[in-house]
Amino acid sequence: MKIQWTEFRILTVMLLLPLLLPLLPACTPQAEKPVVVIYVSVDQVYAEPILKRFEEQTGIRVLAVYDVEASKTTGLVNRLIAEQGQPQADVFWSGEFVQTLLLQQEGVLTPYASPESTSLPDHLVDPNHYWTAFGGRARVILINTDRILLSEAPRGLADFLDPRWQPERIGLANPLFGTTCTHAAALYAIQGPAVARQFFADLAGRGVRILDGNSVVRDMVAAGQLDFGLTDTDDACGALANGAPVAIIYPDQDSTGTLVIPNTVALIAGGPHPQEGRLLIDYLLSPSVEAALISSGWFQIPTRTEATAPAVGTGCLDSLPQRMITVPLADIYHQLEAAKSDLTEIYLR
Amino acid sequence: MPGQPRRPGFQFLWVLAAIVICVGPVALLLLAALRGVIQHPDWLLLVWPSERRARLLWNSLSLSGSVAVVGMLTGLPAGLAIWRLPTRIKRVLQWLVLIFVPLPPYIHALVWLAAAQGINTVLLSLGLPPISLQGWGGTFWIQWMALLPLAVGITLLALQTVDPATIEVGQLLAPGFSVLGRIVLPSSAPLLLSGTGFLFLLTLIDHSVPGLLGLNTYALDIFAEFSATNQPARAFLLAVPGLVVSLLVLLGVQSGIRRIAQPGAQPGAGSGSQSGNWSRRSILHFPLPGWFLVLEQLAVALVTLQIIVPLATLVGEVGSVDRFKQSLFAARSEINYTLWLSLAAALLCLILGWLTGSGLSQSRRQSAVVWWLVTLPLAVPAPLIGIALIMAINHPPWSLVYASAAMPVLAAVSRFLPFATILMAAQINRTDPLLLDAAQIACANPIRRLVKIQLPLLAPGFLAAAILIFSLTLSELGATLLVIPPGRATLTLRIYNYLHYGASAEVAGLGLMLVGVLVLAFLLLVLGYSLWLRLRRVE
């Protein structure tokens, strides 16, 4: 079928119409309202109300892009790196710290010392103010109480290797991705690479189940398909809130302590709205937001003492971990590459 | 056109545009990879799979090959059964089969896992061993079920390319199964083989279902590498063995595509018998042996299962109408944006696919290379396409485009234009060229000619391509996440967000909505087409 010159022109117009339609929103004036763009690696269901409140309080319109767990951390962080020449985002808010430190190393971030960071513990604030950490989710063992008595429940990561537990009824998320990967890097930092590597090799050798994400661990423990598994407190609390027969155990309270993974927030270098970005960072680091995020169930471990009350009052946690892993965040980050390399060899076979 | 000089070559511009859209992102990745190799020569080792990666590649290839072959072997009898039904029932059924095409494979997996849990409760109560959907077997089953609607759709499309006149002749000479074996299958074989290739590629680049079910695949290794290093160039280099396999498959696919897309390359082409044969279905009642009818019934039963299980599970998870309404209300802006985005992508793909397919179907001289280039994006993981688009467009003077809602449309077009091109090339080829040439002479007004003659003749291909692109865009995630403008979200992104939150009722509600959106689009398209046909008859 040959297309003639006139038809060619008609078709070109037809082609341009749908192409131009999507551009219209970009051309529509937004009534001079100030804007801030934030990339969020925190579940939308928790982050969105916080950002809406910021809009109401400041009149600054927040344009957010939310990451999804299924992207296996190849989503927004890679977008930020790829956009480095011409950044679109002003602020990055992450549910953990490893990716933020990576962005710092890649030169994506710019320093900002928020006045709100003065009330935070020193180890949660980057010495050069490239990022600030706040709040936290603990890595916990979630047990199914229909299958395990609380008095006989596992107390630490070493129990994952205990022969009294059937390996096919124990699970953790794929340690190549997400907070389980961060946890692995933390073990590398605390125990040394050789010991940590052996631990994961033994887990694989035993046949402990490797699942697609912490939420899958939560669902399988809640459904009784697993006796227990390693997950985050936000997932664990979600199962409790849904009335599942589960209980939360802080691991290794008598040895290395429980890993708490804080949220991080950072200003993007060369972002289009730096002033609004700084205001948003101040807001996110405020004690009221920390309390709100604890109340909503996004994180459970407060970084300020005044936020403790709602943490233990939500009905999820009876108490906070007595002993936490205190290795500097940067040390954990520096173990990440070695941990990922080893874990790829162990688990992706 | 009389009195107007022909300007040969301009159609080549559309082919070129399609090649740029399809190959551009891959070329940028290739350049980045070359730069990376120059700076870090050891990166070249990534191209050669180690022992561990060779095993993963084998996992991927065995899974993809099995899903593709078994998928088409099931889709073929099911499609044949639907094809031979009376036209009205056939029209309804063929759309019904396709409604779960846009449901992402990951949601299919969750649905089947939930169903398996229910079945296991019953099995255990009866003292029987439970079924497991973990590992290779479970992944195979879910990918098979997820791609079965597409296999049936491809079969129906392939059967449309069979010349009814040859069936009529065949029935006179050797009625019964010989018609199927000697005429129908050989005539539709090119598209059936191409379809098998597409199913293979779609399975090969998916990491979500194998990841969920504990099967390590090469795609997961690429993601692990990308996640560990954040270097798209390294991920691309690692993807090379998979790309090589994909390209070999694409080469096989192209022979089929070119065969249907070039005039005179299929039985009956150019004979004038292909036009308007949608209503000529009485000829399809040829007798088939009993064993084949049983096979057909089994395949139809599987397709029915594939529809009922997701639908029942999703409806069951939603629980109540009020909860569904709540989900609907909460996601209204995502629904609007997704609808608009999918429509825009479908429109763009249709027009570009038409122009490109038309250019490619004109000459036998079109080399395999052009087809290879146009179909290349089918073999590239979606996040890499997204990264490449950022590399290409996030610069002045394209900044306005990059910051606009058009980016996810471009991502969808980059990923799915090959499908539209193939479908339109097939449609153009099975349309009688004499009718089109006559239209050029008889109708001087180009708009009238376009609306009154060309579009009606190409309508089946347009409908098929529109629905396929619309469906695929609805469920796109990997590239969309990387280019979606701030402040926007698609329905699929929202579903994946809720997946982590663990709100299964909301996920089910949104999954149903995704299906509902597609059904609505189907109905609007088919009703619009029927109305248009009626108006034309009245005229």
Q: Which of A23, A215, A336 sits opposite B499 (nearest CB)?
A: A215
- With cut-offs at 50, 70 and 90, classify the pLDDT of residue A213: confident
The torsion angles phi and psi of A39, rounded to 5 degrees, stand at -100, 130
Per cent of chain B over pLDDT 90 is 11
B433 neighbourhood in chain A, CB within 8 Å: 1
Q: What is the mean pLDDT of residues B386-415?
A: 86
Is position A10 within any domain?
A: no
Q: For chain B, how many residues are written?
A: 539
- A240 and A277 in a single domain? The answer is no
* A29 backbone φψ class: left, alpha, beta (φ>0; ψ -120 to 50): beta
- A166 and A114 in a single domain? The answer is no
Q: What is the mean pLDDT of residues B144-172?
A: 83
- A234 and A279 in a single domain? The answer is no
A296 touches chain B (CB under 8 A): no
Q: What is the DSSP letter of B440?
A: H
Contact residues, A window 205-244, toward B, CB-based 8 Å cutoff: 209-213, 215-216, 218-219, 223, 225, 235, 238-239, 242
A37 to chain B: nearest residue by CA?
B486
B413 to chain A: nearest residue by CA?
A19
Is the pLDDT score of B273 beyond 50?
A: no
Q: Which of A37, A72, A85 sits opposite B227 (nearest CB)?
A: A72
Q: Tell me the per-residue pLDDT of A77-135, one tens digit each, with 9 for 90 and over.
A: 889 998 998 999 999 999 999 999 999 999 999 999 999 999 898 889 999 999 999 99
Residue B438, Cβ neighbours under 10 Å: how many? Answer: 12
Among the residue ranges A97-111, B26-40, B175-189, the one predicted with the least confidence is B175-189
User: Do B193 and B253 meet the contact criterion of CB atoms below 8 Å apart?
Assistant: yes
pLDDT at residue A292, as a whole number: 92
A66 neighbourhood in chain B, CB within 8 Å: 489, 493, 497
Is the pLDDT score of A26 beyond 50?
A: no
> Which CATH number belongs to the domain containing residue A142 in this structure?
3.40.190.10
CB contact under 8 A, A340 and B450: no
Is the pLDDT score of A206 beyond 90?
A: yes
Is position A336 within any domain?
A: yes
Q: Which amino acid is at B39?
A: Q
- A196 and A343 in a single domain? The answer is yes
Q: Tell me the per-residue pLDDT of B54-113, one tens digit each, with 9 for 90 and over.
A: 888 999 999 999 999 999 999 999 998 888 887 777 767 777 777 777 677 877 887 888
Q: Facing residues of A172 across strands?
A: A210, A230
Q: Which of A21, A63, A70 sits opposite B208 (nearest CB)?
A: A70
User: What domains are there in chain B, each with its CATH number?
Assistant: 11-264+279-538 (1.10.3720.10)
CB contact under 8 A, B227 and A18: no
CB contact under 8 A, B230 and A88: no
Is position A16 within any domain?
A: no
Q: What is the DSSP letter of B3?
A: T
Is the pLDDT score of A22 beyond 80?
A: no
Is the pLDDT score of A155 beyond 90?
A: yes
Is position A121 within any domain?
A: yes
Question: What is the pLDDT of chain B when averaged over all its residues?
Answer: 79
> How distant is the alpha carbon of residue B400 from its chain centre?
30
pLDDT at residue B4, as a whole number: 41
Q: Do β-strands A209-211 and A170-173 pair in parallel, antiparallel, or remain unpaired?
A: parallel
- With cut-offs at 50, 70 and 90, classify the pLDDT of residue B514: confident
Is position A20 within any domain?
A: no
CB contact under 8 A, A82 and B498: no
Is the pLDDT score of B327 beyond 50?
A: yes
Contact residues, A window 162-201, toward B, CB-based 8 Å cutoff: 174, 176-177
Q: Tell me the per-residue pLDDT of B220-248, one tens digit each, with 9 for 90 and over.
A: 888 778 877 778 888 888 888 888 888 78
CB contact under 8 A, B351 and A44: no
Tell me, letter by letter, the H, E, C secondary structure of chain A: CCCCHHHHHHHHHHHHHHHHHHHHHHHCCCCCCCEEEEEEECCHHHHHHHHHHHHHHHCCEEEEEECCHHHCCCCHHHHHHHCCCCCCCCEEEECCCHHHHHHHHCCCEECCCCHHHHHCCHHHECCCCCCEEEEEEEEEEEEECCCCCHHHCCCCHHHHHCCCCCHHHEEEECCCCHHHHHHHHHHHHHHCHHHHHHHHHHHHHHCCEEECCHHHHHHHHHCCCCCEEEEEHHHHHHHHHCCCCEEEECCCCCCCCECEEEEEEEEECCCCCHHHHHHHHHHHCCHHHHHHHHHHCCCCCCCCHHHHHHHHHCCCCCCCCCCECCCCHHHHHHHHHHHHHHHHHHHCC
Is position A19 within any domain?
A: no
pLDDT at residue A81, as a whole number: 92
- A275 and A222 in a single domain? The answer is no
CB contact under 8 A, B390 and A83: yes
B347 to chain A: nearest residue by CA?
A18
Instruction: Provide the whole-model pTM.
Output: 0.82
- A166 and A197 in a single domain? The answer is yes
**Angstrom distances, CA of residue B429 to CA of B217, B313, B356, B359:** 38, 42, 13, 11
How many separate domains does chain A show?
A: 2
CB contact under 8 A, A1 and B394: no
- With cut-offs at 50, 70 and 90, classify the pLDDT of residue B366: low
Distance (Å, rounded) from C-alpha B114 to C-alpha B128?
18
- Asked if omega into B397 is within 30° of 0 (cis), the reply is yes
Is position A270 within any domain?
A: yes
A14 touches chain B (CB under 8 A): yes
Which residues form the domain of A67? 31-136+262-320
- A166 and A254 in a single domain? The answer is yes
pLDDT at residue B382, as a whole number: 83
pLDDT at residue B2, as a whole number: 38
Q: What is the mean pLDDT of residues B462-472?
A: 84
CB contact under 8 A, B391 and A82: yes
B211 to chain A: nearest residue by CA?
A212
Most confident of A56-70, B486-500, B510-524: A56-70
SS3 percent helix, strand, coil of chain B, rounded to 5, is 80, 0, 20
Distance (Å, rounded) from C-alpha B123 to C-alpha B138?
17
Q: A206-239: b or e for each residue (b if 16 or more CB lie within 10 Å)?
A: bebbbbbbbbbbbbbbbeebbbbbbbbbbbbbbb
Q: What is the mean pLDDT of residues B344-354?
A: 87
- A79 and A192 in a single domain? The answer is no
* Angle in degrees, CA A180, A184, A190, rounded to 5: 140
- A195 and A336 in a single domain? The answer is yes
Contact residues, A window 82-111, toward B, CB-based 8 Å cutoff: 82-83, 85-86, 88-89, 102, 106
- A40 and A117 in a single domain? The answer is yes
Per cent of chain A over pLDDT 90 is 62
Is position A73 within any domain?
A: yes
- With cut-offs at 50, 70 and 90, classify the pLDDT of residue B362: low
- A130 and A148 in a single domain? The answer is no
- A187 and A271 in a single domain? The answer is no
